[in-house]
Structures are given as structure tokens and as C-alpha cells.
Structure 1
């Protein structure tokens, strides 16, 4: 999927599809994963079909599927495109807060 065609909905559906694939690799039914994770079956079914789920429920699914490492790297560090980007980062003072107007 190209960066241009990514939308929040397509990203959520992609995550749901990968969770479904992991579930099927383990030979689990939707009900089995819902039970193991503590997520209601209705919530899990909605997730597989629409990609919608609370963050807490998504983390619970990750624990049940032994996929928590992926959360450790989410938003962890910036990737650089060039050495110039790295050098510029060292020159810019790191803000502790965001802008008030934006």
C-alpha cells in the first residue's frame, strides 16, 4: 500500500487483517481469541469487519496473540531520510510542549 492511498480506515483495516491472520495461524476461532483476550465477541467481530476497536482492547488482543513487541516500537523514534536530517535534529532545541496555537 502506498503512502498516498493510506487513510485512517485503511490502516485500521490492515491491522485488523493482520490480527485475523495471526488468529487463523493459531487455529483459533473468533470466540476463542475473544475469550483468551477478555474482549467481547461483538467487539472483536466489529474489529475484524470494520477495523474499529479501543486501544485497550487492541492491546489485550496483542497479549493474547503474543504480539506485544509491536507496541514497544510504535512511535518510538524518528526515521531519518538523510544525514542532513540527523544533523539538523542535533541543532534544533527540543521542545517540551507543543505550540499553544496549534
Structure 2
């Protein structure tokens, strides 16, 4: 093990399997978190961070320094949903089959 080996990222895969492809507004999103390690990983926990961000372009009137008004295309965003869910506490992962957390 080299001097700077602790600075490299652990090798493995993480993916989320949802119970269905689409969800209605207000409906709970249900699925599983799958983790497959290719080396030993000591974890402080597993957390899923979900974000839904709406973004669009909008024409707005802008006043220039010479008092001339022009229309300008501006990018707008709106955070519709944000939630962090702790899936598992401190866990050790090792090489082998994927571990699944509801």
C-alpha cells in the first residue's frame, strides 16, 4: 500500500432500482439501493440525495446603462423537490455479490 493510496476512490458500483419508471406528483418514490464493491470499503453510511430541478429559458426586459430597454433570454431554475434519506448506517463492503438496501 503506497503513501498516497488512501486518496484514491474505492472501486465499485452503486445504482438505484426503482419499482416503476414514472411517478405522479406527491406519490412516494419506492426502490432499492444496490452496492457492489470490488475491494474492501469501510463506510460511515449510505445516503440517497434526491433532487428535482425545473429549468427553463425566459425572455425578460433589461435596461441598459443608456436607458435603452431590450429583451434578453435568461435561464431560470426552480427547486421542486429535495430529500435526503439515510439508507444504512456504518457498513463494511467487500468483494462479492451486490448488497441491496430498501
Q: Which has the higher helix share?
A: 1
Mark the structure with the bigger radius of gyration: 2
TM beyond 0.5: no
Q: TM-score, normalised by structure 1?
A: 0.22
Q: Which has the higher strand share?
A: 2
